[in-house]
Amino acid sequence: MLILGIETSCDETSVALIEDGRFIRSNYIASQIKLHAEFGGVVPELASRAHIQKLIPMVEECLAKAGISLCDVDAIGVTRGPGLIGALLVGVETGKALGFAAGKPVIPVNHVAGHLYAPFLVSDDPGYKPIVVDGGKRCDDQIGPDGPLVYPYMGLIVSGGHTSLVAVKGPGIYELLGETVDDAAGEAFDKVAKLLDLGYPGGPVIDRLAKTGNRRRFPFPRPMLHQKNLDFSFSGLKTAVLSVVRDLGVEAIRADEQLLADLCASFQEAVTEVLFRKAEMAMKQRRCRELAVVGGVACNSRIREAAAEYVRGARVVFPAPTLCADNAAMIAGLAFHMRDGHGACDLTMNAEADLPVSRPS
């Protein structure tokens, strides 16, 4: 079964073709980073307009390069939420128009649920291989025929808009266990980068600068770690970085390469430790020993490396970086499992900015 995926929830326009819910035939991603960089963050109106310009040409290219037409796909999977409402509407309405014109079912998919599904996608391209860490050791080749994880597993979603722990009981069956009470982890990376004048998005820049830094130089707080609940909070950590920036001055920090690296590394380590300690608490509570770390922040090199140090008694899976960032492959992949009950194109389907993960469709 061939599903065409459409993803437009934030600042990436993406179109993909996925076979039988797992095999990536193609996965096109057009990033809008350059468009939003000068504003220091995503401008919703500009994002929607860019999706409108890009989406149809990308669908055409995706089908043409695969040597097929819309008639050859079995269904269309589209992100219905959560995300920026204007951006979501472009994908939802385009998906419905295509589905109606070609007589294909249109399957709505929850974006966060899509991220949680990303570890299961496979490709002939080695760049799409997930990282697997078990009991502190890398074992990337230990992947069963059904994927690197077995249900139920724990999902840690870390992106620009979300930081949550979710018990994944099956494709489309989720229980939210905890989430951030203020900033998302990616938002914290972006805001700290802004304080240091490092540009947008901040995550990749901090990741790069932190590589030569001393993680212990600044003893930043590990928020919420001593509370029994599974919620996160990152705004206090950002304020702690702000107070160092105020004390030392941005110019002085920027002029001292080592100081900048140490500051980035210390901040990144605080985020990393909180994420893994909370994930461990969640796994202990649920007696679960498998963890998927997904979302844009899961691209972070220290977080990927630190899984072996912080999570000893469990298996941790990171999808390839392209599948951690927003992409349509994860949407089309999950749509395959959500296809029941979507016989004809439902023209009443609507986008929903705050769609909770407990409603996967």
CB of 359 to ligand KG4, least distance (A): 17
Instruction: Pick what 114 binds: ligand KG4, Zn ion, none; C-beta below 5 to 8 Å, kind-dependent.
Output: none
Q: Is 326 in the site for Zn ion (CB under 5 A)?
A: yes
Q: Which is nearer to ligand KG4, 26 or 327 (CB)?
A: 327
- For residue 297, state whether it binds ligand KG4 (rule: CB under 6 A): yes
Piece of 89-97, 155-163, 250-258, 348-356 that binds ligand KG4 (CB under 6 A): 155-163
Q: Can residue 189 be called a binding residue for ligand KG4 (CB under 6 A)?
A: yes
Q: CB of 69 within 8 A of CB of 57?
A: no
Segment contacting ligand KG4 by CB under 6 A, of 16-24, 203-211, 250-258, 334-342: 203-211
**Which residues lie below 8 Å from residue 250, measured CB to CB, with a gap of 6+?**
195, 196, 197
- Give yes or no for residue 201 binding ligand KG4 (CB under 6 A): yes
Cβ neighbours for 244, distance < 8 A, ≥ 6 positions apart: 218, 263
Q: Which residue among 77, 86, 148, 160 contacts ligand KG4 (CB under 6 A)?
A: 160
Contacts to Zn ion from residues 153-182, by CB under 5 A:
159
Q: Which of 159, 180, 266, 322 touches ligand KG4 by CB under 6 A? A: 159
Q: Decide whether 76 or 303 has the Cβ nearer to ligand KG4.
A: 303
Side chain identity, residue 77: G
Nearest 5°: CA angle at 175, between 174 and 176?
Answer: 120
| Total binding residues toward ligand KG4, as defined by CB under 6 A | 19
Stretch that binds ligand KG4, among 120-128, 135-143, 159-167, 213-221 (CB under 6 A): 159-167
Question: Among 241, 240, 249, 251, which residue's Cα sits nearest to residue 193?
Answer: 241
Q: Is 190 an interacting residue with respect to ligand KG4 (CB under 6 A)? A: yes
Pairing status of strand 290-294 against strand 315-318: parallel
Give CA 48 to chain center in angstroms: 19
Contacts 24+ apart (CB under 8 A), 218-224: 218/244, 218/262, 218/263, 218/266, 218/267, 219/266, 220/266, 220/267, 220/269, 220/270, 221/270, 222/270, 222/273, 222/274, 222/277, 223/274, 224/274, 224/278
Which contacts qualify for 340-345: CB closer than 8 Å, 24 or more apart?
Answer: 342/75, 342/105, 342/106, 342/107, 343/105, 344/103, 344/105, 345/96, 345/99, 345/100, 345/103, 345/104, 345/105, 345/106
> In the 8-state DSSP scheme, what is residue 68?
-
Other Cβ atoms within 10 Å of 140 Cβ, number: 12
Could you tell which of Zn ion, ligand KG4, none binds residue 190, using a CB distance below 5 to 8 A set by kind? ligand KG4
For tokens 């055409």, the residue is 60
Q: Is 8 a residue that touches Zn ion (CB under 5 A)? A: no
Sign of CA dihedral 79, 316, 303, 154: positive
Please give the residues from 27 up to 56 whose contact with ligand KG4 meets the rule CB under 6 A: none
> By CB under 6 A, is residue 299 in contact with ligand KG4?
yes
Instruction: Identify the residue among 325, 345, 349, 357 touching ligand KG4 (CB under 6 A).
Output: 325
Judged by beta carbon, residue 134 or residue 183, the one nearer ligand KG4 is 183
Closest contact distance (angstroms) between CB of 115 and Zn ion is: 6
- In the bound state with Zn ion, the residue whose beta carbon lies nearer, of 162 and 315, is 162
Give the range of 89-97, 173-181, 197-205, 343-351 binding ligand KG4 by CB under 6 A: 197-205
Binding residues vs ligand KG4 (CB under 6 A): 10, 159-161, 186, 189-190, 201-204, 207, 295-297, 299-300, 325-326
Binding residues vs Zn ion (CB under 5 A): 159, 326
